[in-house]
Structure 1
Amino acid sequence: VEALIQWCHRGSPASRVTGVEVAWETPRGERGFRVRF
């Protein structure tokens, strides 16, 4: 997970990352996730 977060700060070669917000929480048993942009 931490490697993915670090990649998000850089993004792909064609991207311009202006901000990344990370909120660590206790796992609650979800079965998926959602990406918002």
Structure 2
Amino acid sequence: MEDFQEKDNQSKENQELFRHICGDIIGHDPPCLQ
């Protein structure tokens, strides 16, 4: 159960990081997330 929670948090961080990088490249809300 704890491993699942930790994995879920990790996935969330990765998604935020990806959004930040994608936003920097495109210059606004990244369409690649849709």
TM-score under structure 2 length normalisation: 0.33
**Which structure has the highest helix share of the two?**
2
